[in-house]
Amino acid sequence: MSPTPASASSLSPAALHRLVREGRAPRLLDVRTPGEFRAAHIPGSYNVPLETLREHRAELLAHLDEDVVLVCRSGARAAQAEKALAEAGLPNLRVLEGGIVAWETAEAPVNRGPERWDMERQVRLVAGSVVLATGLAGVFVPGAHLIGTAIGAGLTYAAVSNSCAMGVLLSRLPYNRGPRPGIRTVIAELRSTS
């Protein structure tokens, strides 16, 4: 869940901020969970959670004929969204380098809502708690430490594959879901600002 490196299909926060100030902002799709989006998002962006985008990318194509910049926390989920939309045939896709974290670091404008823990912090809490609990339980229950070993293996795989099964599972909790924007709502919002 670390930032993705800059590529030809990325856009720096400074470049995006300049486009926004000049009134030439591309379509901004924020692929984080609704809870993350409500906590902080770039003004004018649309929340299309990665899961929704993957499921309905064909429907979205008709409403994304201009430049599109994909946003997430650090760039990893946005890169996955870029791949999904590119496979569906959408050109002119870019990923915000460093995601919302880099955007905020650049002191660019952010709409704020209720404070929430971001997904990476939630993953660290759950993984760390399981490893700690099973390590302590291993003193009394032989083999309990192996659960912590499995979590470590999962985190290693997550880093190598740039995916996170625990993050996917946590994103489905009510804390992170909130009112998920339905595809019809997303498309109506995209149409209203075309």
- pTM of the complete model: 0.73
Q: How far is Cα 59 from Cα 88, in angstroms, rounded to an integer?
A: 10
Q: Give the residue-averaged pLDDT of 29-39.
A: 91
Residue (of 29, 45, 53, 39) closest to 118 by Cα position: 39
Residue 12's pLDDT is 96
**pLDDT value at 191 more than 50:** yes
Residue 194 confidence class, pLDDT cut points 50, 70, 90: low
Residue 178 confidence class, pLDDT cut points 50, 70, 90: low
Residue 180's pLDDT is 66
Encoded tokens for 28: 């901004």
34 or 13, which is more confident? 13
Q: Which of 68, 72, 131, 158 is catalytic?
A: 72
Residue 95's pLDDT is 97
The mean pLDDT of the chain is 86
Residue 116's pLDDT is 77
Q: What is the largest CA-CA distance in the chain?
A: 64
Lowest mean pLDDT among 25-29, 150-154, 157-161, 183-187: 183-187
**pLDDT value at 65 more than 80:** no
Q: What is the DSSP letter of 178?
A: S
Alpha-carbon separation of residue 172 from 14, 38, 41, 144 (angstroms): 33, 16, 20, 27
Strand 68-71 to strand 111-112: parallel, antiparallel, or no bridges (unpaired)? unpaired
Decide if 72 is catalytic: yes
Q: Give the residue-averaged pLDDT of 139-167.
A: 87
Q: Give the residue-averaged pLDDT of 35-57.
A: 92
Residue appearing with tokens 């997550």: 158
Q: Give the residue-averaged pLDDT of 8-35.
A: 91
Residue 14's pLDDT is 96
Q: Are 96 and 69 in contact (CB under 8 A)?
A: yes
